[in-house]
Structure 1
Amino acid sequence: MKKKWLLPIFASFMFFTGMGIHDAKAATIADITNTAKAYIGAPYKYGGTDIKTGVDCSAYTQLVFSKLGISLERTSKAQYQQGTSIAKDNLKTGDLVFFNTSGSGVSHVGIYIGDNNFISATTSSGVKVDTVNDPYYWGSRYVGAKRIANFSDYGEVKDAEIDFSIYASRGEVALRLANKLHLDTSNTNSSFPDIKPSSKYAGAAEALKKIGVFTGDDNGKFNPGSPMTRGQLSKVLVEAFHLTQQGTAEQFIDVPGSHWANNYVGILASNKVTVGKGDGTFGVNDNVTLVQLEAFIQRLAQ
């Protein structure tokens, strides 16, 4: 059974179908944007529906909306038949935006996330953020937009679970790092009080502690079933791979000089391990997804 970690998010969602605008009061603007951004960096694959091996544009939008309990058709052309048409100057976060990239009508779809930006699965770079009015490509190919649901600013707070088939737990981070670093994981007599010798994380956690990557929390616990933020992962990667600053690093607006992770994030960026989320931010407090974790490790291994 996969482990879960409780955290407060907004109310659980009903499952919606149909052609009109759904009343998604339980789903917030934060829900749709955070869910959409969780897959940044996922690979593109024509006809693909598996986020790990690759998805096409409509499979990506279908996946994101399904996480919020909203059903979309499979293709971009079919999705263009759903919802209600919205003028370009009335776009709201969560609207689907459509483009003609093939010369024969609707062939690409993305999710509008505000500030003239949208996120989609692109053939060139996988899931990424682009500008709707981009003068070099997207602007001239824009077809229209559809509102599938109304996303609210606020919602009722309740407990929900993180899906560790999407997000990386601390234990999973330890396993993948130990494997990539070819560490000796034979010692399963863990010094972390919350990891039993029989745990699949025991050897990896102990090996990483031995080289100073993990030290435990204030109580000495490893917390293998907890999520890890992108900021925390930046520190772990820098220390695990002994990275140093390489020239001038890109600056991210959510990681100012006073932030504890600024140096670690800067080192990652200077080593071309990360380029951020495409909107000027690093997502320092976002939980790391498995796709993002694998992408970071693969770039470090090159």
Structure 2
Amino acid sequence: MKKKILLPIFASFMFFTGMGIHDAQAATYTDITNTAKAYIGAPYKYGGTDIKTGVDCSAYTQLVFSKLGISLERTSNAQYQQGTSIAKDNLKTGDLVFFNTSGSGVSHVGIYIGDSNFISATTSSGVKIDKINDPYYWGSRYVGAKRVASFSDYGEVKDAEIDFTIYSSRGEVALKLAKKLQLDTSHTNSSFPDVKPGSKYAGAAEALKKIGVFTGDENGKFNPGSPITRGQLSKVLVEAFNLKQQGATENFVDVPGSHWANSYVSILASNKITVGKGDNLFGVNDNVTIEHLDAFIQRLTQ
């Protein structure tokens, strides 16, 4: 019998396009912001649609929204025809903001991320963050904004299934690491509030916490039954095995220098523990499979 767990995901919401109303999987303000920022530094290329070799402004916004299940038209002018118009003083994170940079009509689009900041693929610096009211350039070229999706702070919860015969849970990561590191797992009075002394993960989780590998979430919880992302695992492995950078920095398009996991992923790659997923992508937000976890640990202990 397959072992599965119910994992919260966000309920569906409505978004608007020039063709009418469509359903999409809900996302939060944090989701859209983090997804947009994941590509900071990606190169610009007029007409380009490949994040590795270069994208133009509308290809970038189309890519970011597609990651959240939201469809956008291909060009900035076509995207300006989608959604509902939003006044500048009512902008919210995730709104599309449009500019006239060519002297005629809409010619540039970006994503508003709050505090008067927006992110876009620029001809001069690739994907970067700018001020929407920048007096030297963007401020005078602002055209308007459109809301094509409704984001939330947290989202409503419904059930979805994660198959832990395929994906590794945080608890299983703890068990395997504690065993490989030969840690003392006899202390089962866990300081994690969601790990009871009788849990099979208690000793391993506490042992790894003592050496600074696991610290818990914002509420101090370990979440043993939750999946772990490749970005999170890179941090865990680097700290568990005290890895250091070997040679030149390894860069992946989806883990730019500004990403919290950048140094951990680079260290892991420089030690030949991972080579990424191809197309210069690491898959930083992908859940870790059992197969990949075992492969990483095997390489680390050879």
Task: Label 1:9 to 1:292 Cα distance change in 2 as closer, same or farther (>3 A).
Answer: farther
TM-score relative to the length of structure 2? 0.54
CA offset digits 1:127-177 (Å, max 9, x no partner): 11111111222111111100111111122265688xxxxxxxxxxxxxxxx
Correspondence 1:218 to 2:178: yes
**Partner of residue 228 from structure 1, selected from 227, 231, 245:** 231
2:14, 2:150 within 8 Å by CA — same for their partners in 1? no
Computing the radius of gyration over CA atoms, which structure comes out larger, 1 or 2?
Answer: 2
TM-score relative to the length of structure 1? 0.54
What is the rounded CA distance, in whole Å, between the counterparts of 1:139 and 1:84 in structure 2? Answer: 21
Provide the identity percentage: 66
1:21, 1:84 within 8 Å by CA — same for their partners in 2? no
Structure 1 partner of 2:223: none
1:16, 1:69 within 8 Å by CA — same for their partners in 2? no
Task: Label 1:90 to 1:226 Cα distance change in 2 as closer, same or farther (>3 A).
Answer: closer
Alignment of 1:43-192 (within 5 A): 43-155=43-155, 156=157
1:47, 1:55 within 8 Å by CA — same for their partners in 2? yes
1:229, 1:286 within 8 Å by CA — same for their partners in 2? no
2:58, 2:74 within 8 Å by CA — same for their partners in 1? yes
Task: Label 1:13 to 1:23 Cα distance change in 2 as closer, same or farther (>3 A).
Answer: closer
Structure 1 partner of 2:9: 10
Q: How many residues align?
A: 201
- Root mean square deviation of aligned Cα: 4.2
What is the rounded CA distance, in whole Å, between the counterparts of 1:230 and 1:103 in structure 2? Answer: 48
Task: Label 1:131 to 1:109 Cα distance change in 2 as closer, same or farther (>3 A).
Answer: same
What is the rounded CA distance, in whole Å, between the counterparts of 1:101 and 1:122 in structure 2? Answer: 11
Task: Label 1:125 to 1:26 Cα distance change in 2 as closer, same or farther (>3 A).
Answer: same
What is the rounded CA distance, in whole Å, between the counterparts of 1:52 and 1:14 in structure 2? Answer: 31
Q: CA deviation at 1:275?
A: 9.0
1:99, 1:109 within 8 Å by CA — same for their partners in 2? yes
Task: Label 1:139 to 1:160 Cα distance change in 2 as closer, same or farther (>3 A).
Answer: farther
Give the unaligned 5+ runs of structure 1: 1-5, 162-193, 195-215, 244-267, 269-273, 294-302
Task: Label 1:240 to 1:131 Cα distance change in 2 as closer, same or farther (>3 A).
Answer: same
SS at match of 2:244: helix
Task: Label 1:52 to 1:122 Cα distance change in 2 as closer, same or farther (>3 A).
Answer: same
Structure 1 partner of 2:30: 30
What is the rounded CA distance, in whole Å, between the counterparts of 1:122 and 1:34 in structure 2? Answer: 19
Q: CA deviation at 1:242?
A: 6.4
2:42, 2:127 within 8 Å by CA — same for their partners in 1? yes
What is the rounded CA distance, in whole Å, between the counterparts of 1:49 and 1:63 in structure 2? Answer: 8
Alignment of 1:250-265 (within 5 A): none
Structure 2 partner of 1:247: none
Task: Label 1:122 to 1:218 Cα distance change in 2 as closer, same or farther (>3 A).
Answer: farther
Correspondence 1:283 to 2:260: yes
